[in-house]
Amino acid sequence: MSPELARLFEAARAAQARAYAPYSGFPVGAALRDAGGAVYAGCNVENAAYPVGTCAEAGAIAAMAAGGGRAIAEMLVLGPGPGLVTPCGACRQRIREFAGPDVIIHVADGAGVRGAFTLATLLPESFGPENLGRHV
């Protein structure tokens, strides 16, 4: 694992440990590196109006935006269980707002990285800012 990926893994693992998931029992952590090299993390946060909550990826993206970042260079999502924990559909679109098709999204569990996908693989033929004449 590269040092950059190890930083993402550790940040996502720390965020996952702080997840608030009393309804699903499914804690998720996510971390991203922005174009400037800063790392931002988020965890899922549920509430009694389940399923209204915040995904870990959305939390990491919000932290990046609050920190002044505007471009995702790489991302890692860490979750439990035997299946790969890839971003949900809504989060794939959130990631798309700040990432190009070649950005890598790693998926992991507590033991390590289990897979890696480009955003184009997870969200093919996507609609993004450039469709509206905006370029991030």
Indicate which residues carry an active-site annotation.
57
β-strand 39-43 against 112-118: which pairing, if any?
Answer: unpaired
Q: Helices (H), strands (E): how many in the chain?
A: 4, 5
Burial track 47-68 (b if 16+ CB lie within 10 A, e otherwise): eeeeeebebbbbbbbebbeeee
Name residue 120's amino acid. A
